[in-house]
Amino acid sequence: MGILSWIIFGLIAGALAKWIMPGDDPGGVIVTIVIGVVGAVVGGYIGSLIGWGEVDGFNIKSFATAIGGALVLLFAYRKIKG
């Protein structure tokens, strides 16, 4: 996937992660985008390590992996920022 696809994918994943796990975050929309994009990358990396295969396109498995990675990063971000 190209960088624009990852940004759009990450924006959607970050927004859904914030919707699934609502709360007061010290960041705004930009932080949500960053968490989504990085979460998509981290989720894809972890998914490939545990044998789920590569994140290779806009499909349900890739989308779920990106949302899962964004949720993990959002949780970690909240714990670090207090």
In 3D, which of 54, 81, 60, 79 has the Cα closest to residue 16?
60
User: What is the spatial distance between Cα 43 and Cα 41, in angstroms, rounded to a whole number?
Assistant: 5
What is the reported pTM?
0.74
pLDDT per residue over 26-63, tens digit each? 677 677 778 877 887 777 777 778 877 565 667 777 77
> How many helices, marked H, and strands, marked E, lie in the chain?
3, 0
User: What residue segments make up the domains of the chain, in order of their start?
Assistant: 3-81
What DSSP character marks residue 64?
Answer: H
Q: How many CB atoms lie within 10 A of CB 25?
A: 15
